[in-house]
Amino acid sequence: LILSIIEGMIPLPYIAPGAKLGLSNIVILSVIVVFGFKDAFLVVVVRSILLMLIATNPVTFIYSITSGIVSTIVMSLSCKYFKNIFSLIGISVLGAMAHNTTQVTVAAILFTTLDLYYYLPILSLVSIFTGCFVGYTAIFVTDNLEKTLLKLGREA
């Protein structure tokens, strides 16, 4: 939740309107790897609800919940079935693309226009860069989280 709020304060000029780094996806991908889909799904739902309450904008909730759930499903399935093909960086890029495709689809439905899909190639390019950033960071986070959990398990 805090990462989502911080992310909203970071302007990304000259990239694409509405483009974000996807900082909260670092948490989601790390939770998928360390704890599994169910916990990641719960984090997405709680984050989306809390963001709606803070932003007091139901449209924000619609974008957040749909794209969060779809990208979490894509990343979870990719981790489960394609981990030997894709690294966490590749899985993160797939999640970013799923997230952006879902948001464009939701916007196209809400605004009843398919013209918004012209924006998708730009967002897909942005997804590669943001997905790589999130993936690299998630590797660092999961490695350290797993080491910490192992250490705590030995001390308990």
Domain boundaries, the chain: 2-10+20-133
- Res 43: pLDDT: 96
Please give the Cα distance from 3 to 81 (Å, whole number): 28
- Res 57: pLDDT: 79
**What's the pTM value of the predicted model, to 2 decimals?**
0.85
Cβ distance 127 to 96 under 8 Å?
A: yes
Q: Which residues of 95-109 are buried (b: 16+ CB within 10 A; e: fewer)?
A: bbbbbbbbbbbbbbe
**pLDDT band (50, 70, 90) for residue 156:** very low
- Res 11: pLDDT: 58
Residue 89 has pLDDT above 60, yes or no: yes
**pLDDT band (50, 70, 90) for residue 18:** low
| CA atoms 9, 15, 19, 23: torsion sign | negative
Counting residues of the chain whose pLDDT is more than 90, the rounded percentage is: 63
